[in-house]
Amino acid sequence: MADAPILVTGGAGFIGSNLVDALLARGYAVRVLDNLSTGKRENLPQDARVELIVGDVADADSVRRAVQGCRAVVHLAAVASVQASVDDPFGTHQSNLIGTLNLCEAMRESGVKRVLFASSAAVYGNNGEGHAIDEDTPKAPLTPYAADKLASEHYLDFYRRQHGLEPVVFRFFNIFGPRQDPSSPYSGVISIFTERAQKGLPIAVFGDGEQTRDFLYVADLVEVLVQALESPEAVEGAVNVGLNQATSLNQLLVAIGDVLGGLPKVSYQAARPGDIRHSRANNARLVQRYRLPEPPTDMREGLAKLLGL
């Protein structure tokens, strides 16, 4: 098993490709299963230790082939756009839930135990708003995306109890960094603002800009994922991934302006219907079980890296 690869589903995407870089740096071989729907080949380095399987997690045979001979799995493949799930619940369900179930079955068959799963703060809906949201906050999945994430958590827990899988469930809050795709209006706000600022294009803030998010730089997230792969035990129970820090969009814009030495025109428009006002992670469980980089990457430092400065 010494050279057995780690399978990263969705490894050609934003978070996945940053994880692949970190795994290679630590000497692991990596296998990527990705249908290249939002991910890109160019996100992956030219390295003999990286094997890319272009395939769909909704296809059981592709998943079986990808899982065979792996040491562990990081399951990131999903249609990450909430709006896409609202527009096409059935289509996105194939990736976001059936994909997880295919993976569980393939792991059971081949005896691979450890799997990290990318769940989302979306499982809480509007509950806990205005507080640091802890993992026991009642769940309120308001969209097909959130429902599939929460259901995936439950399936993974079933396979843990019934078949001895070792799932580690992470609920990501707002992750940012290089290779986050800014091309959709529903892409991560930092990817949109930085791209537009760099090109000198006007920036639209939906609402008064005083809404807050808990932004975490992708390299810090990846550190945690690597620890979860390497730790001898998979501790039960989902783990929020955030810094327990609130940054408003207005503060974010000041930071982008500082890093770039100026900002294009910013206009304030109607708030998005249903937009969450404040989202912040209670990360006590995270810091108890894992080491975040100390100190975590500062917003301006993360922005500078993202902007290639």
**Catalytic residue ranges:** 145
CB of 12 to ligand UD2, least distance (A): 18
Check if the beta carbon of residue 222 is closer than 8 Å to that of residue 19: yes
| 111 vs 138 by CB, closer to ligand UD2 | 138
- Work out what residue 247 binds among ligand UD2, ligand NAD, none; the CB cut-off runs from 5 to 8 Å by kind: none
Write out the two tokens for 176.
Answer: 């940012």
8 binds ligand NAD (CB under 6 A): no
- Work out what residue 276 binds among ligand UD2, ligand NAD, none; the CB cut-off runs from 5 to 8 Å by kind: ligand UD2
Q: Is 62 helix (H, G, I), strand (E, B) or coil?
A: helix
12 binds ligand NAD (CB under 6 A): yes
DSSP 168-224: EEEEE-EEE-TT----STTS-HHHHHHHHHHHT--EEEESSS--EE-EEEHHHHHHH
* Binding stretches for ligand UD2 (CB under 6 A): 82, 120-122, 174, 186-189, 192, 204-206, 211, 213, 249, 272, 275-276, 279
H or E stretch covering 50: strand 50-54
Phi/psi region, residue 246 (left: phi>0; alpha: psi -120 to 50; beta: rest), is beta
- Work out what residue 272 binds among ligand UD2, ligand NAD, none; the CB cut-off runs from 5 to 8 Å by kind: ligand UD2
CA distance 251 to 14: 24
- Work out what residue 205 binds among ligand NAD, ligand UD2, none; the CB cut-off runs from 5 to 8 Å by kind: ligand UD2
Count of alpha carbons within 13 angstroms of residue 274, beta-carbon side: 8
Footprint on residues 61-120 left by ligand NAD (CB under 6 A)? 76-80, 95, 99, 118, 120
| 269 vs 288 by CB, closer to ligand UD2 | 269
